């Protein structure tokens, strides 16, 4: 009797789970880095809820699904004083493990378990990297500026009037 019960429980647990749920789970850990380091990072899900704030480098575990047959999508904003703010999108796409349900998880895994848990999705990259551009400083009206250019950038009509300064 115990063997029959153990076999039944094992069989039901295999049939009632999805392939992607078993292999990859409903969350995924991503690494967020930036150049320069120590930039502020804010991660917001598709519903507009902030799920993480901190500084780079950061490792964050994110849910892959946003509901039944809905991949989650995140807006990741990097900011640092003196640099332009950069926003990137991280979106879940269908995982290859989801199609393992055809062989192992059956219809229940294909249509119920993996879509409900979000395990049918994965993020395409495990690393999210941002390079922040330095902000252009505008000189004040009363400040003098210096522009350095090469002689090849100067029009010929002006170069004809140029006088060489001896070293």
- Residue 156: the pLDDT is 78
CB–CB of 94/121 below 8 Å?
yes
- Residue 103: the pLDDT is 59
CA distances from 162 to 18, 43, 45, 64 (A): 77, 56, 60, 65
142 vs 130, which has greater pLDDT?
A: 130
At 69 the three-state DSSP class reads coil
> Is the pTM higher than 0.85?
no
Residue carrying the six token digits 């219809």: 107
pLDDT tens by residue, 148-160: 778 777 777 777 8
Q: Is residue 144 included in any domain, yes or no?
A: no
pLDDT band at 14 (very low <50, low <70, confident <90, very high): very low
Q: 97 is written with which tokens?
A: 């493990």
Q: Is the dihedral of CA 6, 12, 16, 20 positive or negative?
A: positive
Exposure of 40 by Cβ count < 10 A (0-12 exposed, 13-18 middle, 19+ buried)?
A: middle
- How far is Cα 74 from Cα 91, in angstroms, rounded to an integer? 6
pLDDT tens by residue, 33-85: 999 999 999 999 999 999 999 999 999 999 888 777 788 899 999 999 999 99
Q: What is the CATH number of the domain that holds 56?
A: 2.60.40
Give the angle subtended at the CA of 83 by the CAs of 77 and 87, to the nearest 5°.
20
Q: Is residue 146 included in any domain, yes or no?
A: no
60 vs 142, which has greater pLDDT?
A: 60
Q: Is residue 30 included in any domain, yes or no?
A: yes
Q: Is residue 50 included in any domain, yes or no?
A: yes
Q: Is residue 165 included in any domain, yes or no?
A: no
pLDDT tens by residue, 92-105: 877 765 566 555 55
Q: Is residue 147 included in any domain, yes or no?
A: no
Number of domains in the chain: 1
Residue 29 has pLDDT above 70, yes or no: yes
Residue carrying the six token digits 């330095």: 134
Q: Is residue 150 included in any domain, yes or no?
A: no
Residue 28: give the domain boundaries. Answer: 2-132
Q: Is residue 156 included in any domain, yes or no?
A: no
């Amino acid at each position: 009797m115990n063997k029959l019960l153990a076999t039944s429980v094992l069989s039901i647990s295999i049939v009632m789970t999805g392939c992607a749920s078993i292999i990859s789970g409903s969350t995924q850990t991503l690494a967020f880095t930036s150049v320069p380091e120590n930039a502020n990072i804010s991660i917001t899900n598709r519903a507009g809820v902030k799920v993480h704030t901190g500084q780079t480098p950061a490792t964050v575990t994110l849910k892959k699904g946003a509901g039944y047959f809905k991949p989650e999508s995140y807006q990741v904003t990097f900011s640092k004083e003196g640099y332009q703010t950069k926003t990137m999108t991280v979106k879940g796409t269908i995982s290859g493990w989801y199609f393992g349900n055809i062989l192992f998880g059956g219809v229940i895994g294909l249509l119920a378990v993996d879509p409900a848990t979000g395990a049918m999705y994965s993020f395409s990259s495990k690393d999210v990297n941002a390079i922040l551009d330095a902000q252009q400083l505008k000189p004040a009206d009363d400040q003098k500026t210096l522009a350095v250019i090469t002689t090849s950038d100067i029009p010929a009509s002006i170069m004809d009037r140029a006088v060489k300064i001896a070293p």
